[in-house]
Amino acid sequence: MAMTGVLRPGHLQLRVLDLEECRKFYRDVVGLVDMGTDAQGRVYFKAWDERDHNSLILRQADTAGVDFVGFKVLDAAALNELEAKVRAFGLATERIPAGEMSETGERVRFQLPTGHLFELYAEKKKVGNGLGLVNPPPWGKDAERGIAPTRFDHCLLYGPNIAANKKLFTEVLGFFMVERILGPKEAGEPEIGIFLTCGHKTHDIAFVEHPEPGKLQHVSFRLLNWDRVQRAADILGMNRVSVDLSPTRHGVTRGETIYAWDPSGNRFETFSGGYEPYPDYEVITWTFDEFGYGLDYPTGKLHDSFLGVVT
């Protein structure tokens, strides 16, 4: 696909209740690379195969959850153009100066209709994946510590008025919808879940209708294949991590998955598989009565914790 506009998920900042405990957890169990601490006390991580300086930021707080999600855009001209479009859509924007977040350039921040803070940026320091750009090996020392995901893949966010989010992302930010979940027939089958991409993945961000604004359902980290998902399950068990959904396959996106909790109660996913959609593909629809198979295809069960517990 052409390099234009919004490129990919870039970063997500999580609130955690015990910063040092979660630092150790994301470094040693999840297997992210610790990129240091800034003057505000925030801790930065990247996945081993990511080229930019950071993708997950942890902040000490009294409540768990998500502060903001950021996506990288092509360049400064794209950033300016998209900011103008967001304002024309009717949303106020704020410019966060370069350097406010470690090794990251100026960011354009705005609040989504679902209550989440979302931001776009064009510049982040390139640090590479440690393998080099000439005759590189397939993996390095950081690829075997803990679960060792290759990248921050996507997030699922809960909040009200996902219809307005859909309009913003598809008509302004250049995303397209890949899959959707419909509500009950007696309610007129409204869209209660939408899965959006700006590239060739089944989703880069997803939203589910929820009465409370600004909620996090999960942050997802990409693994190479189903074998690595099974290995992740072993690592979670060996470290006595609380698991929400054991290794299974989604019907939605065809993803292979485990859901578990970090020490502060934020849900995270280890994810592989899926398929490669293109903008001309027709949207896949899941009806409410069959959504159990969308979540957990082998059993067809709707798990209460997955639907109801958010931070």
pLDDT bucket at 303, cuts 50 / 70 / 90 = confident
Q: Are residues 69 and 183 in the same domain?
A: no
Segment 36-65 mean pLDDT: 97
Which residues have C-beta within 8 Å of that of residue 9, sequence separation ≥ 6?
55, 69, 70, 71, 72, 152, 153, 154, 155, 204, 205
Task: Tell whether 1 is covered by a domain.
Answer: no
**Is the per-residue pLDDT at 290 higher than 70?**
yes
Q: Are residues 199 and 135 in the same domain?
A: no
Q: Are residues 176 and 304 in the same domain?
A: yes
Q: Are residues 239 and 286 in the same domain?
A: yes
- Cβ count near 224 (within 10 Å): 14
As for how many domains the chain has, the answer is: 2
Segment 159-173 mean pLDDT: 97
Q: Are residues 64 and 207 in the same domain?
A: no
**Is the per-residue pLDDT at 65 higher than 90?**
yes
* Cα–Cα distance measured from residue 270 to residue 150, given in angstroms and rounded to the nearest whole number: 10
End of a domain among 144, 174, 208? Answer: 144
Domain that holds residue 97: 6-144
End of a domain among 85, 114, 144? Answer: 144
> For the chain, what is the mean pLDDT?
94
Phi, psi of 68 (to 5 degrees): -165, 160
Closest listed residue to residue 190, CA positions, set 182, 180, 199, 202: 182
**Is the per-residue pLDDT at 152 higher than 70?**
yes
Phi, psi of 250 (to 5 degrees): -75, 145
pLDDT bucket at 239, cuts 50 / 70 / 90 = very high
Would you name the residues annotated as active-site residues? 154, 203, 218, 250, 259, 269
End of a domain among 144, 171, 203? Answer: 144
User: What pLDDT is stored for residue 184 in this prediction?
Assistant: 86
Q: Are residues 238 and 127 in the same domain?
A: no
Q: Are residues 33 and 121 in the same domain?
A: yes
**Is the per-residue pLDDT at 154 higher than 70?**
yes
